[in-house]
Amino acid sequence: MSFGKALARTETNIPGLVVFDLPVHGDSRGWFKENWQREKMMALGLPDFGPVQNNISFNDAVGTTRGIHAEPWDKWVSVATGRIFGAWVDLREGPTYGAVFSTELDPSRAIFVPRGVGNSYQTLEIDTAYTYLVNDHWSPEAEYAFLNLADETAAIAWPIPLSDVEISAKDLAHPRLADVTPVLPRKVLVVGAGGQLGRALRGEFGDASHVEYAARADFDLTMTDLDSARHWRDYEVIINAAAYTAVDLAETPAGRRDAWATNATAVAALARIAAKYGITLVHISSDYVFDGTKSTEYSETDAVAPLGVYGQTKAAGDAAAATAPQHYIVRTSWVIGDGKNFVGTMASLAERGIDPNVVDDQRGRLTFTSEIARAIAHLIDSGAKFGTYNLTCSGAPLSWADVAREVFTLTGHDPSKVSGVSTEEYFASAAGPVAPRPRNSALDLAKIRATGFEPADAMSMLRGFLAN
Burial of 396 (0-12, 13-18, 19+ CB in 10 A): exposed
Residue 260 Rama label (left phi>0; alpha psi -120 to 50; beta):
alpha
Is 3 domain-assigned?
Answer: no
72 and 155 part of one domain: yes
Q: What percent of the chain has pLDDT over 70?
A: 100
Residue 1 within any structural domain of the chain = no
Among 123, 150, 179, the domain boundary falls at 179
Predicted local distance difference test score (pLDDT) of residue 228: 84
pLDDT tens across 153-172, in order?
999 999 999 999 989 999 99
Vertex 446: Cα angle to 442 and 449 (nearest 5): 120
**Does 448 share its domain with 428?**
yes
Question: CB neighbours of 375 closer than 8 A, spacing ≥ 6?
Answer: 330, 389, 391, 448, 453, 455
Q: Does the global pTM surpass 0.85? A: yes
Q: Which ranges constitute the DSSP H helices of 222-341?
A: 253-260, 266-277, 309-321
Average per-residue pLDDT in the chain?
94
Give the model confidence (pLDDT) of 260-314 as tens digits. Answer: 999 999 999 999 999 999 999 999 999 999 999 999 999 999 999 999 999 999 9
Q: Is there a catalytic annotation at residue 327?
A: no
Q: Domain span at residue 29?
A: 8-179
pLDDT score of 320 more than 80: yes
Judged against a pLDDT cut of 90, whether residue 384 lies above it is answered with yes
Task: Assess whether 310 carries a catalytic annotation.
Answer: no
Number of domains in the chain: 2
Residues 93, 212 share a domain: no
Q: Is the pLDDT of residue 2 over 80?
A: no
DSSP three-state, residue 53 = strand
Cα-to-chain-centroid distance, residue 180 = 28
Domain-embedded: residue 114 = yes
pLDDT at 36: 93
**SS3 for 420?**
strand
**Domain shared by 136 and 166, yes or no:** yes
Residue at which a domain ends, from 179, 204, 235? 179
- Residue 229 pLDDT: 87
> Where do runs of H (alpha helix) occur along 87-222?
169-172, 196-205
Residue 320's SS3 state is helix
**What's the CATH number where 393 sits?**
3.40.50.720
Chain centre to alpha carbon of residue 220: 20
| 56 and 138 inside one domain | yes
Q: What is the 3-state secondary structure (H, E, C) of 96-121?
A: CCCCEEEEEECCCEEEEECCCEEEEE
* 155 and 215 both lie in a single domain: no
- Which of 4-13, 180-189, 224-233, 406-415 has the least mean pLDDT? 224-233
pLDDT of 1 strictly over 70: no
Averaged pLDDT for residues 128-152: 91
Please answer whether residues 329 and 191 qualify as being in contact, where contact means their C-beta atoms are separated by less than 8 angstroms: no
The residue from 121, 130, 132, 288 that is catalytic is 132
- Clarify whether residues 197 and 105 are in a common domain: no
